[in-house]
Amino acid sequence: MAKYKIESDKDICIGCGACVSMCPENWEMEEDGKAKALHEEIDEIKCNEDAKDSCPVDCITIKKIENTE
């Protein structure tokens, strides 16, 4: 099964909240007004792809880090 690493670049994030709207199960806004993935390593991308696509400054990356198939 593949594993994925989800990251956002806080230097670029403008705190719009789109990722949280699209994927509240894995994104939250922090006290600094920037978004953070609750789980940075996941087995299934699920709505994180929607979060990535919704980001207006393209600061979310999803990388495949493991494939044990």
Least gap, CB of 43 to ligand SF4 (angstroms):
21
Least gap, CB of 45 to ligand SF4 (angstroms):
16
* Sequence-distant (≥ 6) Cβ neighbours of residue 39 within 8 angstroms: 6, 26
Q: Which CB sits closer to ligand SF4, 3 or 16?
A: 16
Q: Which CB sits closer to ligand SF4, 17 or 69?
A: 17
How many Å apart are CA 30 and CA 56, to the nearest integer? 18
Residue ranges in contact with ligand SF4 by CB under 6 A: 8, 13-19, 35, 54-55, 57, 59-60
Q: Which CB sits closer to ligand SF4, 4 or 35?
A: 35
How many of the other CB atoms lie within 10 Å of CB of 24?
12
Q: Looking at this protein, which amino acid is placed at residue 48?
A: N
- DSSP code of 12? T
